[in-house]
Amino acid sequence: MSRRHRKIAGLLPFLLFCASASAWEVEDHFESPDSFILTNRGAPIADLGGVIANESRRLETIVMRRLVKFQSDTIQADLRHHLEMHHPRELQEALESAGNLHNPALTALRKPFESALLKTRFVASINAQLLPHGYRIAGVSFEKFFIIKDSNPPEFDALIYLSVTEGPRAQTRGLSLGLH
């Protein structure tokens, strides 16, 4: 192998790591071999539909990882707006508290945060990618919920898990994949 080829071969693991560092990772579902889980590793939401199209198994969960990693003012603005409109007291108490994940003031904000997240344009954009493949977001769960108070305005963060259910096009999807 020439010196040039050795150099290229030495870069290959790095290039593969970079490519996979911002991708949708497909994982087997731990309870069902007929299902899979998608984990976002920094890939654009617009790539979601292509990943789903390449899978014959049923999508169960989308793991979005940390919410602030998406660096979207839209997500934060949508969350703040919904919480200010529908849960102002809980939001104010949480913002006046320490904001860390062990703070009891955040407990009252957990359910409102869940409903606010489902109403964001962010989740709507994910649903837009899911619907043509016969899926929709059914619910959200999260862990490590806290508020980053040194941001202006403060930002919400959590590890986000979106549960997925079959939507109106599920039958069409099954027929088109030959899963009948």
What span, in angstroms and rounded, lies between the C-alpha atoms of 20 and 42?
Answer: 9
Q: How many CA atoms lie within 13 A of 162 on its CB side?
A: 28
Q: Is 70 exceeded by the pLDDT of residue 5? A: no
Please write down the long-range contacts of 174-178, taking CB distance under 8 Å and 24 or more positions apart. 174/134, 177/56
* Mean pLDDT (whole number) for 26-45: 87
Q: How many CA atoms lie within 13 A of 8 on its CB side?
A: 5
CA angle 152, 68, 81 (to 5 degrees): 60
- The 3-class SS string of 149-179 reads CCCCCCEEEEEEEEEEEECCCHHHHHHHCCC
The pairing of strands 35-40 and 135-148 is: unpaired
- The lowest-confidence range among 21-25, 29-33, 156-160 is 21-25
pLDDT value of position 1:
62
**N-terminal to C-terminal alpha carbon distance within the chain:** 50
What span, in angstroms and rounded, lies between the C-alpha atoms of 84 and 98?
Answer: 19
* Mean pLDDT (whole number) for 147-155: 88
pTM given for the model = 0.77
* Mean pLDDT (whole number) for 42-61: 91
Task: Answer yes or no: are the C-beta atoms of 53 and 133 closer than 8 Å.
Answer: yes
